[in-house]
Amino acid sequence: MTPTTAGLIGMAALLVLLFARMPIGIAMALVGSIGIAVINSPNAALNSLGSFPYSHASVQALAVIPLFVLMGNFAAVSGMGADLYKAAYAWMGHHRGGLASATVLACAGFAALSGSSVASAVTMGRVCLPEMRRYNYDPRLATGVVAAGGTLGILIPPSTVLVLYALLTEESIGRLFLAGFLPGILLTVLFVLTIMIICAFRPEFGPPGEKQSLRERMAALVGAGPFIAVVGITIGGIYAGVFTVNEAAAVGALLTMSHALWRRSLSFRALVDALLQTVRTTAMVFLILIGAHIFSPFLALTRIPIDLATMLTNYALPALAVLSVLMLAYLILGMFLEGFAMMVLTVPIVFPIVTALGINPIWFGIFMVIVLEMGLISPPVGINVFVVKGVAEDVPMGKIFAGIIPFWIAMLVCLGLLVAFPQIVMILPDTMMK
């Protein structure tokens, strides 16, 4: 059996295991170790299984994952998400579609603390959907904006997906965090513009709310002050070079915990729940990373990634054509797989192609994450859609998907802008690190 044949069989077996609902980390470790045994030797496979879990799980850079996850959990406990929504609503709620716009801004803000699309969709869905329902918002707009706004959680730093990409490609986590900041703001603005366009053509979709006085607006803004402070200190500290990424995560976790204690919302039960949720999320990410690092050497032995990169460079296809093909492939995969699975499965294959074409790996990381976001709201899986469905049980899935389509188009526009103006992604990391 040739290495290429073994590689094709291995990838087919991996897809079968994933459709059989085996955890992605275990499936990749199993296929990778068997593949290494077939191509190299059983001893090499046993060595990988014995050494890789410890060597890759003990990397100091991985400390950022549990710390940022813990920061997001403490932020949820302290009510920062609700405070942020109140501030956004106070300033924008009286406009047509203002509640939906406030929801997008709140999702973007909460994403900067949680780093998780699911957490953003769940938290903001519970806070925002009842308010939009109270003001008779169309269910398509209300649920669509929560599902789409929640996807900002894996783009706006801190993002566990960006950390995962950095570890798989050996790129700088700090540079990736800064690279995702402006595209995250751009996508947030595009979402707000989408809401304005929808409400211009269909005013009944987003009736205006009550206009609040300047005093009430300022009070709501002061209420969101702790959130602004935490984001400013953590992200600003990374940009200014005051903190490393790990130190920023630790400071952020301490600040959000202190805020929860100050508000007396961090009971012993809430503390245990936050810690357990952090352990579960961290264990899931670590298992995926370990499996990916066992599967990647197997792919390297098959030479499939190198052969694909050589083939594409020989055909001299323009980078834009290759990016279009990759985007289409990710959108198709997104109909069946979730974001983590797509990333760890495809990065070992596509990264050599990207580097061979001279595409900046930091820029491509942001491009990939936005495409993964599109997968999070694409049928038939659309994980964020099912999350919102769990919060709005009376809204049919068809209406939720219908409400998502305009925001999906906005993501496509965002990708086009990043391709046309790559400096949107690179300006912050390039000013931070020469």
The pLDDT tens digits for 331-380 are 777 666 666 777 877 888 888 888 888 889 999 999 988 988 887 787 76
Q: What global pTM score does this model have?
A: 0.77
The pLDDT value recorded for residue 67 is 85
Q: Return all residues near 258 (Cβ < 8 A) that are at least 6 apart.
A: none
Print the domain residue range for 62: 3-432
Mean model confidence pLDDT for the chain: 83
- Count of the separate structural domains present in the chain: 1
pLDDT, tens only, 242-257: 888 788 888 988 999 9
pLDDT, tens only, 298-341: 877 887 777 776 776 677 678 788 888 888 877 777 666 666 77
pLDDT, tens only, 267-285: 899 899 989 988 887 887 7
pLDDT, tens only, 96-113: 888 888 888 888 877 766
Q: Is the per-residue pLDDT at 433 higher than 60?
A: no
- Residues 191-218, mean pLDDT to the nearest whole number: 88
The pLDDT value recorded for residue 366 is 93
Spell out the alpha helix ranges (H) of 79-116. Answer: 80-92, 98-114
The pLDDT value recorded for residue 407 is 93
* Sign of the C-alpha dihedral computed for residues 254, 260, 263 and 269 taken in this order: negative
Dist CA 103 CA 145 (whole Å):
7
Record the tokens describing residue 59, joined without a space. 């990397």
pLDDT, tens only, 391-424: 787 888 888 888 899 999 999 999 999 999 999 9
The pLDDT value recorded for residue 193 is 94
Record the tokens describing residue 152, joined without a space. 């900002």
Q: Residue 116: which region, alpha, beta or left (left: phi > 0; alpha: psi -120 to 50)?
A: beta
Write the single-letter amino acid at 365: G
